[in-house]
Structure 1
Amino acid sequence: MSATTTDGITHIRAAGTPYEIGRAHGAALAGPLRAFLDDGLARLAHLMPGPPTLTGLLPSIAAHRAAVGAALPDLAEEVAGLADGAGIHPDEAWLLQLRRELMGYSKIRTGGDCSTYARTGPDGPPVLAQTVDLNGDLDTHIAVLEVARAGSARRSLVLSFAGLLGYLGVNSDGLAIGLNLVLGGTWRPGVPPYLAIRHLLDSASDTEQALKILADLPLASSRSLMLCDRERALYVEHLDGQLRVTEAAPGELAHTNHFLHPDFAPADELNVFARNSSLRRLTAARNGLAALPADAGAEDHFELLAQVPLRVPDRGDVRAERTVAAAVMFPATGELHLRPGDPALSRTQVFGL
């Protein structure tokens, strides 16, 4: 177990049982997580209408906690370890996992919320790259978890924000996963997509196995996941318990924040201003990726991700989404290249398995 911090990214290496991994994660970030929770209840007071309280959120937290405990008991144990290691209440540790679900979704969105693309083919390495667009100024709490579960040879590199067990990442079998927020359907107690991604990285060796696992998870909210292994790239959209898969094997795919599958497009709840942003970013991602050579390196991808409209600048409003990180993953080599904050201003850090 070890933790180092460089240029705003804390790199936490943890191995052992789920509880031990969670405890190492919590201990490494005990001070920052306590400060984050004390900042308007994990900054939710800055983002939600009316000041939320932990007491008021407890019924929702309990419902999600029960669903995760039933579907993914190992990750429930890891959350318990996180609470112990950080010296926070278990309900606070669960709050950190559930912030996005507890916020719900608003139809008034005008910024960004991640632009993602992936490519496979015979002339270059498979790659999955994306911007991470979030509100709440979460680039102040970026970590990379390097996880080795006891009893498994598989290892995972996971990007995390403020105590999350998962967000995006790559594993040692050669599977990379990114994500986009899409808005639709009814959000209900279940497995948050961030935890689902972590479970897939811990459990799946390739895209085919990941899809089978994902089909059995009771996801809490709408999302699109981008998956890439050595030979295949695909995105899978989730809406109200249903999944739709679009793939390219080999080929190129991009996704932003509106549903692309025709079965789900009529249910999209994105307002017209946010949809226009999503369409511009989708076009930029598709055209930019097509212009990159097949053997493009990480810095070539970052040059694309750092360009507006893919990069969403800081407008000085904690409630507005902005680009808080950019990631380029090479699943065949188990590499995560990461730029924290605004990718046009930060330098690349490289993490490998």
Structure 2
Amino acid sequence: MALLLALVMAAPAGACTLWAAVGSGVAGGGALAAKNRDWTPDSPGRLELVRPRGGLAYLALMAGGRKGWGVRAGVNQAGLTVLSASASALPKNRRGGPPGISRRLLSGFASVQAVLDQDWMFQGLGPRFYLLADARQIALVEIAPGGQARITSARQGELAHTNHYQSPDLAGFNQRPALSSHARQAQVEALLAAAARPLTLEEFQRLSQDRGAGPDNSLWRTGSRPQGTRTLASFLVRLPLTGSPEVWAVLANPGQPERRIKIILDENFWQGPTGPLP
């Protein structure tokens, strides 16, 4: 009871929840990948089509902040999906370092294996977590202070991650309680275990709207304080073995009507105008 009370009363940090599935447990095969973006309400989100020179085009979930707009999730025209999360189990003064490489991954790589074949890229980056997915493989990348990286990959099954280190040899970097992170990790694992099989994009949508563990520990966080952390967006991707990927996104920018957006990533979409989506 004391632990439950502590979980409910703990002041939450900025965070996200990532989860994915691949293989025979997915309806029709292929993969599903999802991110719920959690942050304080002063950071709006938008979807944007990016077409870099000499690289692959990609659809990105962008977040606005003091330094401008940054990529928080995306899927490129080859089907590689990149989702990121902060390492909020670290004290804030240990979370700095070189910037992330979501843009580089999305513009330059067509598959998870192609990224893992060059895993040296993760060495030396600032602390953060990545979930990678394509139609045949999913992977989690944990990056610790000093640039140590640990990777878990699968071609069958499910992976999930919140905001604390799960690799045993990196667990010593969990220097803050990160109670919400641990609670959400348990929640997403329980929801995945109980989810209807085979898994579908619709089932992932249902999971992304979970409010069953309270305002700070559910997958969709409503927040216990007016200016506190809450879920501002969902970004879900269906990656079929054949055919066009599908994105389901929710934008919950404070002061604006909630938007629910479905996009089929076919050739017409990729040839469309770049910039923020209307």
Q: TM-score, normalized by length of structure 1?
A: 0.60
Deviation at 1:315, TM superposition (A): 3.3
Q: Percent identity?
A: 25
Give the match for residue 350 of structure 1: 262
Tell me how far apart the structure 2 counterparts of residues 219 and 127 of structure 1 sit (CA, whole Å).
Answer: 29
Give the match for residue 54 of structure 1: none
Give the match for residue 330 of structure 1: 238
* Structure in which a larger fraction of residues adopt strand: 2
Check 1:180–1:165 CA distance in 2 against 1; reply closer, same or farther (3 A cut).
Answer: closer
Q: Which amino acid aligns with 2:15?
A: D
* Structure in which a larger fraction of residues adopt helix: 1
Tell me how far apart the structure 1 counterparts of residues 197 and 136 of structure 2 sit (CA, whole Å).
Answer: 14
Asked if structure 2 preserves the Cα contact closer than 8 Å seen for 1:187 and 1:220, the reply is no
Tell me how far apart the structure 1 counterparts of residues 90 and 225 of structure 2 sit (CA, whole Å).
Answer: 28
Check if 1:313 corresponds to 2:219: no
Please list every run of at least 4 consecutive aligned residues from structure 1 whose deviation after the TM superposition is greater than 6 angstroms: none
C-alpha RMSD of the superposition: 2.4
Q: Which amino acid aligns with 2:247?
A: L
Asked if structure 2 preserves the Cα contact closer than 8 Å seen for 1:232 and 1:248, the reply is yes
Give the match for residue 129 of structure 1: 34
Give the match for residue 209 of structure 1: 114
Q: TM-score, normalized by length of structure 2?
A: 0.75
Give the match for residue 226 of structure 1: 131
Deviation at 1:127, TM superposition (A): 0.6
Give the match for residue 52 of structure 2: 149
Tell me how far apart the structure 2 counterparts of residues 219 and 324 of structure 1 sit (CA, whole Å).
Answer: 29
Q: Which amino acid aligns with 1:171?
A: N
Mark the structure with the bigger radius of gyration. Answer: 1
Aligned length: 234
Tell me how far apart the structure 2 counterparts of residues 325 and 296 of structure 1 sit (CA, whole Å).
Answer: 21
Deviations 1:70-110 (A, max 9, x none): xxxxxxxxxxxxxxxxxxxxxxxxxxxxxxxxxxxxxx952
Check if 1:250 corresponds to 2:152: no
Deviation at 1:218, TM superposition (A): 6.0
Q: Which amino acid aligns with 1:337?
A: W
Q: Which one has more relative contact order, counting CA pairs under 8 Å at least 6 apart?
A: 2
Check 1:151–1:246 CA distance in 2 against 1; reply closer, same or farther (3 A cut).
Answer: closer
- Taking the TM superposition and a 5 Å limit, the aligned residue runs for 1:72-221 are 110-111=12-13, 113-122=15-24, 123-124=26-27, 125-138=30-43, 141-152=44-55, 154-162=56-64, 163-182=68-87, 183-184=89-90, 186-190=94-98, 192-193=99-100, 196-217=101-122, 220-221=125-126
Q: 2:203 aligns with which of 295, 300, 323?
A: 300
Tell me how far apart the structure 2 counterparts of residues 259 and 247 of structure 1 sit (CA, whole Å).
Answer: 16
Check 1:159–1:136 CA distance in 2 against 1; reply closer, same or farther (3 A cut).
Answer: same
